[in-house]
Structure 1
């Protein structure tokens, strides 16, 4: 009999997964403030600032790739609680130093720790009764978190300096560690996988992962690359164009409010919009917004595109998550979701910093168009193979 107090199908388990998702995906919210603090408060050039954030994301990628194939054997609650606890200590260390080498090592450690926790979180979400809906709930929580974070942190950092950002990140990770230790759900087999007549006991964990999953993973990675590349410089683009600090903060707050809607909208449209079409449209919309942000000459165009930029990623990723869940009932591929997303996101800050430093902000939009084309091709292949698999 399932222990309902520790299931992902009750409020305790859902809360733990939502808190863990917010902490593990903090880069999706914090990048503009993060990069802005490293450049404006620590005096780092864009390329060096981007390298620090890239080290955090590369650490997350590495730990996710390590955890994903071992997901069925991991003690998920212990990994989640322990990972977030180590990340909290690492961010606390960053706040206490201004030595670049030390900051680099601590960013890498924080990424490895948070990435392992996020990996088991997404693997557990993938084993819930309805992964699409559960991931949408996590996205809604991230939207609420974004409003609080983006509404408060820019002013806190402006008043107290760069270390205040890393103290805040440490507190977020500590909260996720406590929540995971107390409430994180125990692993359970997905009902769909158990009821699949084509699969015997444990087959979902031993069958080879479909090539469609890898195409989808590459597409998600490309979108993560564009997201991180542009999002890292959202605050700097506004500041360098002469917009006031309050105007730029207002855009970030609006972005957080808008982020409340894509996840519940994705949940409502789960049965109405085929995932294979949504993931084709997502990269195109993302590239259009990136061009508007990087090439626009007015505050209205900058603010309008920036406010909805992250929402496209959240909406599309929810459908992509549900698509991959259907292709991999055992949860191994979904446990690697942080790697799918962050392998691109890890490249984004340093690539964006390099492009900005040598070619200006306009080059970010051009690069986004090229990467979006690759994403569309990958998602098209994934959707084609998914359709063929469904007909078999």
Structure 2
């Protein structure tokens, strides 16, 4: 696994020293990035179980449950917005380690908090989000500064798929046996492993003092459109994925059947990232990122409108895969347009701005208009995403 970093312009020639340091880490550095990616993107895997546990085990209503997850994601967004412009000025290994360490402590704190102490749960969710957003910004910025960001991000996606199988296969059973706090023990364990991995082997991209004073170029307009497009897809993903477990249970499909569907989703998620990596030079990225939101909206309609198990299960099992496949191409395109790594370092902000709105927005829609309204709104968001992605390649 190639984790060495390379400068791409004469103005960034001083980055070569840190590139050599990262290269010496070899497989260990790559493994640390994969673990950090999985820990930082835990919301993408855990949303249905997370919201479902807050509703089922903690007896919160959909809006309250969605708000807690939204606070976590909003914290990650604000943190990413603060740290991503500082990617090349701060020690990446130290920042990633500190962030995951704080997240570990925050989730351990939630374990001991009961649902009648909702404000404390809210504060701890926000703190965990701020910490994770910091670590994930340095993780994605490091991937973006690698020799082949598209390929390395595809490998990270494969790692996330493997993690999803383990998480979705084991966590619902643990929650059923030990109650809602078991979910946050699992989260704390994941963050703890990431803390150790980052401390031992995270590739450092800390630049020299002279580089810290260099004015980095502003983002091209295409970069901003690409960011908004990713945010739109993330909004649909979190808005619907937060309630996909409850949709199945409330329609009488049964706990075992819904859990099996989530496990199937984890298995399917093994494939989109490596396939996207293989197709990097064979398929036009512009076409992929424009088709992705449309497919996502169609699946959302099937999930929310279906009254029988088979269509629900089929659409749910591939729903997250569409986001993973499309985002891999979008990540590679953004990394090529902005070679400083700052655009992809803002990946948590892109993903989690949409994802932060999604749970509470989706909870409000469900509370007011039922599950069917999620599919209709998904179609409208898809139209906005296609418009934004159509301008991703229009750069000076």
TM range (shorter): over 0.9
Structure 2 length-normalised TM: 0.92
* Matching of residues 27-106 of structure 1 within 5 Å: 27-98=43-114, 99-106=117-124
Match of residue 275 from structure 1: 285
Match of residue 138 from structure 1: 156
Structure 1 length-normalised TM: 0.93
Deviation, 1:6, is 3.5
Aligned residue for 1:42, secondary structure, equals coil
Q: Distance in 1 between matches of 2:215 and 2:27?
A: 27
Q: Distance in 2 between matches of 1:221 and 1:65?
A: 14
Deviation, 1:159, is 1.0
Deviation, 1:9, is 7.6
Report the CA distance shift for 1:276/1:8 in structure 2 as closer, same or farther (over 3 A): farther
Q: Distance in 1 between matches of 2:215 and 2:226?
A: 19
1:12-50: CA deviations, max 9, x gaps? 111000000000000000001000000000000000000
Deviation, 1:7, is 3.2
Report the CA distance shift for 1:220/1:166 in structure 2 as closer, same or farther (over 3 A): same
Kept in 1: contact 2:80–2:137 (CA 8 A): yes
Match of residue 187 from structure 2: 169
Kept in 2: contact 1:88–1:169 (CA 8 A): yes
Report the CA distance shift for 1:317/1:8 in structure 2 as closer, same or farther (over 3 A): farther
Kept in 1: contact 2:21–2:204 (CA 8 A): no
Report the CA distance shift for 1:132/1:95 in structure 2 as closer, same or farther (over 3 A): same
Match of residue 274 from structure 2: 264
Kept in 2: contact 1:125–1:135 (CA 8 A): yes
Kept in 1: contact 2:76–2:130 (CA 8 A): yes
Aligned residue for 2:81, secondary structure, equals helix
- Let me know the Cα RMSD of the aligned residues: 1.6
Aligned residues: 375
Deviation, 1:53, is 0.1
Report the CA distance shift for 1:205/1:137 in structure 2 as closer, same or farther (over 3 A): farther
Report the CA distance shift for 1:128/1:49 in structure 2 as closer, same or farther (over 3 A): same
Unaligned runs of 5+ in 1: 190-200
Match of residue 355 from structure 1: 365
Match of residue 147 from structure 2: 129
Tell me, yes or no, if structure 1 residue 183 matches structure 2 residue 201: yes
Unaligned runs of 5+ in 2: 1-16
Moved segments of 4+, more than 2 Å? 1-10, 201-205
Deviation, 1:186, is 1.6
Match of residue 306 from structure 1: 316
Q: Distance in 2 between matches of 1:163 and 1:365?
A: 31
1:320-343: CA deviations, max 9, x gaps? 000000110001111111001110
Q: Distance in 2 between matches of 1:312 and 1:360?
A: 24
Q: Distance in 1 between matches of 2:110 and 2:290?
A: 39
Deviation, 1:246, is 0.7
Kept in 1: contact 2:88–2:212 (CA 8 A): no
Report the CA distance shift for 1:129/1:37 in structure 2 as closer, same or farther (over 3 A): same
